[in-house]
Amino acid sequence: MSPIRIAFAGLAHSHPVSDASNLARLRDAGSPVEFVGVYDSDGALATAFAERFGCEVAPTLAALADAQPDLVILTARPHETAPFVSELLAATNAVVFANKVVAGTAAQLAAWEAAIAVDQDRVGTSSVLRFAPELRALAARVADSEVWGVRVLAQHDIEMFLAPDRAWQDDPARGGGTLVTAGVHAWEMLGAVLPGAELTGEVSGWTHRSPSSRSASEETAQLAGTVAVPGRREVQFGMTVTGTPGPERYALDVFTSTGTLSVSLEFPHPHDSLGFAELAAALLENTRGGRATAPWESARAVATNTIRAAQALRGTHHTEMSQ
Protein backbone atom coordinates (compact mmCIF):
# COMPACT_ATOMS: atom_id res chain seq x y z
CA MET A 1 0.00 0.00 0.00
CA SER A 2 1.38 3.39 -0.99
CA PRO A 3 1.96 5.75 1.91
CA ILE A 4 -0.34 8.70 2.48
CA ARG A 5 1.75 11.76 1.70
CA ILE A 6 1.10 14.50 4.26
CA ALA A 7 2.20 18.13 4.12
CA PHE A 8 1.86 20.86 6.74
CA ALA A 9 0.98 24.35 5.52
CA GLY A 10 1.36 26.85 8.33
CA LEU A 11 2.34 26.45 11.97
CA ALA A 12 0.24 29.24 13.43
CA HIS A 13 -0.36 27.44 16.73
CA SER A 14 0.33 24.17 18.51
CA HIS A 15 -2.18 21.89 16.81
CA PRO A 16 -0.06 20.80 13.82
CA VAL A 17 2.57 19.57 16.29
CA SER A 18 -0.12 17.51 18.04
CA ASP A 19 -1.39 16.26 14.68
CA ALA A 20 2.08 15.28 13.49
CA SER A 21 2.84 13.55 16.80
CA ASN A 22 -0.31 11.43 16.60
CA LEU A 23 0.16 10.68 12.91
CA ALA A 24 3.75 9.64 13.65
CA ARG A 25 2.47 7.23 16.32
CA LEU A 26 0.13 5.69 13.76
CA ARG A 27 3.02 5.46 11.30
CA ASP A 28 5.19 3.76 13.90
CA ALA A 29 2.34 1.31 14.55
CA GLY A 30 2.29 0.34 10.88
CA SER A 31 0.07 2.85 9.10
CA PRO A 32 1.51 3.92 5.72
CA VAL A 33 2.29 7.59 6.39
CA GLU A 34 4.96 9.87 4.93
CA PHE A 35 5.57 13.49 5.91
CA VAL A 36 6.64 15.22 2.71
CA GLY A 37 7.15 18.80 3.84
CA VAL A 38 6.29 21.82 5.96
CA TYR A 39 5.94 25.48 5.15
CA ASP A 40 5.58 28.49 7.42
CA SER A 41 6.54 32.13 6.99
CA ASP A 42 8.63 31.72 10.15
CA GLY A 43 11.59 29.77 8.80
CA ALA A 44 13.00 28.92 12.22
CA LEU A 45 9.67 27.46 13.30
CA ALA A 46 9.43 25.38 10.13
CA THR A 47 13.00 24.14 10.55
CA ALA A 48 12.37 23.01 14.13
CA PHE A 49 9.22 21.19 13.02
CA ALA A 50 11.04 19.51 10.12
CA GLU A 51 13.87 18.34 12.36
CA ARG A 52 11.45 16.94 14.90
CA PHE A 53 9.28 15.05 12.41
CA GLY A 54 11.77 14.19 9.69
CA CYS A 55 10.51 16.12 6.70
CA GLU A 56 11.71 18.80 4.31
CA VAL A 57 11.26 22.54 4.78
CA ALA A 58 9.54 24.07 1.76
CA PRO A 59 10.78 27.61 1.06
CA THR A 60 7.39 28.61 -0.36
CA LEU A 61 3.84 27.32 -0.39
CA ALA A 62 4.29 26.58 -4.09
CA ALA A 63 7.27 24.37 -3.28
CA LEU A 64 5.18 22.53 -0.70
CA ALA A 65 2.49 21.94 -3.31
CA ASP A 66 5.16 20.58 -5.68
CA ALA A 67 5.63 17.68 -3.26
CA GLN A 68 2.16 16.51 -4.40
CA PRO A 69 0.74 15.57 -1.00
CA ASP A 70 -2.41 13.51 -0.59
CA LEU A 71 -3.37 15.47 2.54
CA VAL A 72 -2.49 18.99 3.58
CA ILE A 73 -2.96 20.00 7.21
CA LEU A 74 -3.51 23.75 7.05
CA THR A 75 -2.83 25.79 10.19
CA ALA A 76 -2.54 29.36 9.03
CA ARG A 77 -3.28 32.72 10.58
CA PRO A 78 -6.77 33.84 9.52
CA HIS A 79 -5.52 36.43 7.02
CA GLU A 80 -3.51 33.63 5.34
CA THR A 81 -6.14 30.89 5.15
CA ALA A 82 -7.91 32.06 1.99
CA PRO A 83 -4.80 32.57 -0.18
CA PHE A 84 -3.21 29.39 1.18
CA VAL A 85 -6.20 27.15 0.47
CA SER A 86 -6.75 28.74 -2.94
CA GLU A 87 -3.19 27.93 -4.00
CA LEU A 88 -3.32 24.42 -2.56
CA LEU A 89 -6.57 23.56 -4.34
CA ALA A 90 -5.21 24.89 -7.63
CA ALA A 91 -1.79 23.24 -7.44
CA THR A 92 -2.55 19.83 -5.89
CA ASN A 93 -5.17 17.09 -5.84
CA ALA A 94 -4.89 16.86 -2.07
CA VAL A 95 -7.68 16.97 0.45
CA VAL A 96 -7.19 19.79 2.94
CA PHE A 97 -7.93 19.80 6.65
CA ALA A 98 -7.80 23.23 8.27
CA ASN A 99 -7.21 23.48 11.99
CA LYS A 100 -9.33 26.15 13.67
CA VAL A 101 -9.89 28.94 13.05
CA VAL A 102 -10.28 29.48 9.31
CA ALA A 103 -11.63 32.99 9.90
CA GLY A 104 -11.78 35.42 12.78
CA THR A 105 -14.06 38.00 11.19
CA ALA A 106 -16.97 38.09 8.75
CA ALA A 107 -14.71 39.50 6.03
CA GLN A 108 -12.19 36.70 6.50
CA LEU A 109 -14.99 34.13 6.39
CA ALA A 110 -16.28 35.56 3.11
CA ALA A 111 -12.76 35.41 1.65
CA TRP A 112 -12.38 31.81 2.82
CA GLU A 113 -15.66 30.74 1.25
CA ALA A 114 -14.77 32.42 -2.03
CA ALA A 115 -11.40 30.66 -2.04
CA ILE A 116 -12.81 27.16 -1.55
CA ALA A 117 -15.86 27.56 -3.79
CA VAL A 118 -13.97 26.03 -6.71
CA ASP A 119 -13.74 22.64 -4.95
CA GLN A 120 -15.10 22.80 -1.41
CA ASP A 121 -15.67 19.04 -1.23
CA ARG A 122 -11.91 18.65 -0.80
CA VAL A 123 -11.82 20.95 2.22
CA GLY A 124 -12.72 20.32 5.85
CA THR A 125 -12.23 22.07 9.16
CA SER A 126 -13.09 21.45 12.78
CA SER A 127 -12.18 21.99 16.37
CA VAL A 128 -10.48 18.85 17.60
CA LEU A 129 -13.24 18.48 20.21
CA ARG A 130 -15.59 17.07 17.57
CA PHE A 131 -13.47 13.91 17.72
CA ALA A 132 -13.36 13.61 21.53
CA PRO A 133 -14.66 10.11 22.39
CA GLU A 134 -16.86 11.27 25.27
CA LEU A 135 -18.47 13.97 23.16
CA ARG A 136 -19.16 11.50 20.37
CA ALA A 137 -20.74 9.11 22.84
CA LEU A 138 -22.93 11.92 24.16
CA ALA A 139 -23.97 12.89 20.63
CA ALA A 140 -25.13 9.33 20.00
CA ARG A 141 -27.33 9.48 23.12
CA VAL A 142 -28.75 12.88 22.20
CA ALA A 143 -29.66 11.73 18.69
CA ASP A 144 -32.70 9.85 19.97
CA SER A 145 -33.72 12.37 22.63
CA GLU A 146 -36.22 15.21 22.77
CA VAL A 147 -33.98 18.19 23.50
CA TRP A 148 -35.32 21.03 25.64
CA GLY A 149 -32.19 23.14 25.87
CA VAL A 150 -28.39 23.16 25.92
CA ARG A 151 -25.73 24.73 28.15
CA VAL A 152 -22.10 24.96 26.98
CA LEU A 153 -18.82 26.02 28.59
CA ALA A 154 -15.50 26.65 26.83
CA GLN A 155 -12.65 27.65 29.13
CA HIS A 156 -9.22 28.26 27.57
CA ASP A 157 -6.54 30.26 29.37
CA ILE A 158 -5.84 33.32 27.20
CA GLU A 159 -2.33 33.83 28.58
CA MET A 160 -0.74 31.96 25.68
CA PHE A 161 -2.58 34.23 23.23
CA LEU A 162 -0.81 37.26 24.68
CA ALA A 163 2.67 36.16 23.56
CA PRO A 164 3.93 38.27 20.62
CA ASP A 165 3.82 35.39 18.13
CA ARG A 166 0.27 34.46 19.14
CA ALA A 167 -1.21 37.93 19.74
CA TRP A 168 -3.21 37.71 16.53
CA GLN A 169 -5.47 35.19 18.29
CA ASP A 170 -6.27 37.74 21.00
CA ASP A 171 -7.05 40.53 18.52
CA PRO A 172 -10.73 40.63 17.44
CA ALA A 173 -9.77 42.31 14.16
CA ARG A 174 -7.19 39.68 13.20
CA GLY A 175 -7.89 36.33 14.83
CA GLY A 176 -11.29 36.87 16.39
CA GLY A 177 -10.39 37.31 20.06
CA THR A 178 -11.65 35.15 22.90
CA LEU A 179 -15.21 34.82 21.58
CA VAL A 180 -13.83 33.25 18.40
CA THR A 181 -10.55 31.60 19.42
CA ALA A 182 -12.10 29.88 22.45
CA GLY A 183 -15.72 30.25 21.39
CA VAL A 184 -15.30 28.02 18.34
CA HIS A 185 -14.85 25.07 20.72
CA ALA A 186 -18.20 25.81 22.38
CA TRP A 187 -19.94 26.04 19.03
CA GLU A 188 -18.24 22.85 17.87
CA MET A 189 -19.57 20.98 20.89
CA LEU A 190 -23.06 22.31 20.31
CA GLY A 191 -22.85 21.38 16.64
CA ALA A 192 -21.64 17.89 17.49
CA VAL A 193 -24.77 17.07 19.51
CA LEU A 194 -27.16 19.13 17.36
CA PRO A 195 -25.83 18.64 13.80
CA GLY A 196 -26.51 21.53 11.47
CA ALA A 197 -27.61 23.89 14.26
CA GLU A 198 -27.72 27.48 13.00
CA LEU A 199 -27.99 30.58 15.11
CA THR A 200 -31.31 32.31 14.57
CA GLY A 201 -32.74 35.52 15.96
CA GLU A 202 -31.01 37.75 18.47
CA VAL A 203 -28.13 36.90 20.80
CA SER A 204 -28.21 38.31 24.31
CA GLY A 205 -25.56 38.33 27.00
CA TRP A 206 -22.59 40.25 28.33
CA THR A 207 -18.83 40.50 28.06
CA HIS A 208 -16.21 41.39 30.65
CA ARG A 209 -12.80 42.94 30.18
CA SER A 210 -10.92 44.24 33.21
CA PRO A 211 -9.51 47.78 32.95
CA SER A 212 -6.06 46.39 33.79
CA SER A 213 -6.25 43.55 31.29
CA ARG A 214 -3.37 42.98 28.87
CA SER A 215 -5.82 41.40 26.46
CA ALA A 216 -7.27 43.22 23.47
CA SER A 217 -10.34 41.04 23.74
CA GLU A 218 -12.98 40.04 26.27
CA GLU A 219 -11.86 37.86 29.18
CA THR A 220 -15.26 36.27 29.73
CA ALA A 221 -18.56 36.26 27.87
CA GLN A 222 -22.01 34.87 28.50
CA LEU A 223 -24.38 34.26 25.58
CA ALA A 224 -27.96 33.10 25.22
CA GLY A 225 -30.06 32.54 22.14
CA THR A 226 -31.76 30.04 19.85
CA VAL A 227 -30.52 27.63 17.20
CA ALA A 228 -32.56 26.08 14.42
CA VAL A 229 -31.75 22.39 14.13
CA PRO A 230 -32.63 20.34 11.03
CA GLY A 231 -35.23 17.74 11.91
CA ARG A 232 -35.95 19.30 15.30
CA ARG A 233 -37.73 22.35 16.60
CA GLU A 234 -35.71 25.37 17.63
CA VAL A 235 -33.53 24.81 20.69
CA GLN A 236 -32.53 27.42 23.27
CA PHE A 237 -28.94 27.55 24.46
CA GLY A 238 -26.78 29.22 27.07
CA MET A 239 -23.04 29.51 26.54
CA THR A 240 -20.05 30.68 28.57
CA VAL A 241 -16.77 31.44 26.84
CA THR A 242 -13.91 32.37 29.13
CA GLY A 243 -10.18 32.92 29.09
CA THR A 244 -9.93 32.20 32.81
CA PRO A 245 -6.43 31.11 33.90
CA GLY A 246 -5.95 27.42 34.54
CA PRO A 247 -6.49 24.12 32.76
CA GLU A 248 -8.66 23.93 29.68
CA ARG A 249 -12.19 22.82 30.40
CA TYR A 250 -15.05 22.10 28.03
CA ALA A 251 -18.48 21.07 29.28
CA LEU A 252 -21.89 20.46 27.79
CA ASP A 253 -25.28 19.81 29.39
CA VAL A 254 -28.18 18.73 27.18
CA PHE A 255 -31.57 18.99 28.87
CA THR A 256 -33.93 16.34 27.50
CA SER A 257 -37.37 14.93 28.25
CA THR A 258 -35.76 11.99 30.05
CA GLY A 259 -33.03 13.80 31.98
CA THR A 260 -29.84 15.79 31.64
CA LEU A 261 -27.10 14.34 29.45
CA SER A 262 -23.68 15.78 30.21
CA VAL A 263 -20.02 15.66 29.32
CA SER A 264 -17.05 17.44 30.90
CA LEU A 265 -13.68 17.35 29.20
CA GLU A 266 -11.31 18.37 31.94
CA PHE A 267 -8.11 16.45 32.53
CA PRO A 268 -4.63 17.00 33.93
CA HIS A 269 -3.36 16.11 30.46
CA PRO A 270 -6.22 17.17 28.20
CA HIS A 271 -4.57 16.17 24.92
CA ASP A 272 -5.01 12.55 26.02
CA SER A 273 -8.79 12.81 25.74
CA LEU A 274 -9.75 15.88 23.69
CA GLY A 275 -9.79 14.01 20.38
CA PHE A 276 -6.30 14.55 18.96
CA ALA A 277 -5.58 10.84 18.47
CA GLU A 278 -9.04 10.26 17.02
CA LEU A 279 -8.61 13.18 14.62
CA ALA A 280 -5.36 11.69 13.33
CA ALA A 281 -7.04 8.34 12.70
CA ALA A 282 -9.95 10.05 10.93
CA LEU A 283 -7.57 12.02 8.71
CA LEU A 284 -5.91 8.83 7.50
CA GLU A 285 -9.17 6.96 7.00
CA ASN A 286 -10.83 9.77 5.08
CA THR A 287 -7.78 10.56 2.97
CA ARG A 288 -7.57 6.92 1.91
CA GLY A 289 -11.17 7.24 0.78
CA GLY A 290 -10.52 10.53 -1.02
CA ARG A 291 -12.77 12.41 1.39
CA ALA A 292 -12.31 15.58 3.39
CA THR A 293 -12.44 15.26 7.17
CA ALA A 294 -15.22 17.42 8.67
CA PRO A 295 -16.19 18.68 5.19
CA TRP A 296 -17.06 22.34 4.81
CA GLU A 297 -20.69 21.64 3.97
CA SER A 298 -21.20 20.37 7.52
CA ALA A 299 -18.56 22.57 9.18
CA ARG A 300 -19.83 25.89 7.83
CA ALA A 301 -22.52 26.35 10.49
CA VAL A 302 -19.97 26.22 13.32
CA ALA A 303 -17.76 28.89 11.73
CA THR A 304 -20.71 31.10 10.89
CA ASN A 305 -22.30 30.76 14.33
CA THR A 306 -19.01 31.56 16.05
CA ILE A 307 -18.42 34.79 14.15
CA ARG A 308 -22.03 35.93 14.17
CA ALA A 309 -22.36 35.44 17.93
CA ALA A 310 -19.11 37.32 18.59
CA GLN A 311 -20.23 40.24 16.45
CA ALA A 312 -23.65 40.37 18.06
CA LEU A 313 -22.34 40.37 21.60
CA ARG A 314 -19.66 42.97 20.95
CA GLY A 315 -21.85 45.30 18.93
CA THR A 316 -19.77 47.45 16.64
CA HIS A 317 -16.55 47.12 18.66
CA HIS A 318 -15.01 44.82 21.22
CA THR A 319 -15.41 45.44 24.92
CA GLU A 320 -13.01 48.02 26.36
CA MET A 321 -13.91 47.74 30.03
CA SER A 322 -15.97 45.75 32.47
CA GLN A 323 -19.67 45.60 31.71
- Peptide bond preceding 101 in cis form (omega within 30 of 0): yes
CA distance 115 to 282: 24
Low-confidence stretches of the chain (pLDDT beneath 70): 267-272, 316-323
| pLDDT at residue 320 in the model | 40
Helix (H, G, I), strand (E, B) or coil at 302: helix
Supply the pTM of this predicted model: 0.94
pLDDT of residue 18: 95
Are 133 and 267 in contact by the 8 Å Cβ rule? The answer is: no
The DSSP bridge partners found for residue 205 are: 223
Measured CA distances, 187 to 90, 123, 184 (Å): 30, 19, 5
CB 257 within 8 A of CB 128: no
The model's pLDDT over 89-116, given as tens digits with 9 standing for 90+, comes to: 999 999 999 999 999 999 999 999 999 9
**Cβ burial, residue 183 (10 Å; 0-12/13-18/19+):** buried
| pLDDT of 231 | 87
Q: Write down the pLDDT at residue 272.
A: 64
Distances (CA, A) of 10 to 49, 72, 109, 223, 251: 11, 10, 18, 32, 29
β-strand pairing of 220-228 with 235-242? antiparallel
pLDDT at 321: 38
Please give the domain boundaries of the chain with CATH numbers for all domains.
4-128 (3.40.50.720), 130-267+295-314 (3.30.360.10)
pLDDT at 267: 61
What pLDDT sits at residue 162?
87
